[in-house]
Amino acid sequence: MVKSGHFFAALPENGAEEAIEPLAQWPGVRIERIVSRGQASPPGFWYDQDGTEWVILLAGSAALLFEGESAPRVLRPGDYVEIPPHARHRVEWTDADAPTIWLAVHSKSTD
């Protein structure tokens, strides 16, 4: 069966948390849509992931801070980053006025 969908459809309502929805998954890979509405990482929190993440911002805007970099990277639609395993990073801000929509491709660790 060929599964299909529309990436920008059925955006979740405002919520306290980012909305993470799986779009596809197969051995070694997980593809997600993430919708942010002004959320940011909590103070002092850093993502530290075992696998590679490739993420592209497709609507809205956001700033990602990587540990050791002097300033956050501001992302606009079309901007992508490849985040190596254990590259510590945090979301400094996401657009407060419009949904920020990310497409994330995660490698899954094989454990």
Q: How far apart are the C-alpha atoms of 111 and 99, rounded to whole Å?
A: 34
**DSSP bridge partners of 53:** 83, 106
Q: Does 71 contact a copy of itself by CB under 8 A?
A: no
Residue 77 C-beta: closest distance to a copy of itself, Å: 8
Task: Tell the residue number behind the tokens 């509405």, with chain if given.
Answer: 37
The residue (of 5 and 15) whose beta carbon lies closer to a copy of itself is 5
Interface with a copy of itself in residues 37-56 (CB under 8 A): 52, 54, 56
**Contact with a copy of itself (CB under 8 A): which of 83, 94, 95, 100?**
83
Alpha carbon distance 64, 87 (integer Å): 12
Closest by CA to 41, choosing from 84, 88, 89, 92, is: 92
Footprint on this chain of a copy of itself (rule: CB under 8 A)? 1-9, 23-24, 26-29, 31, 52, 54, 56, 58, 66, 73, 78-84, 87, 89, 103, 105, 107
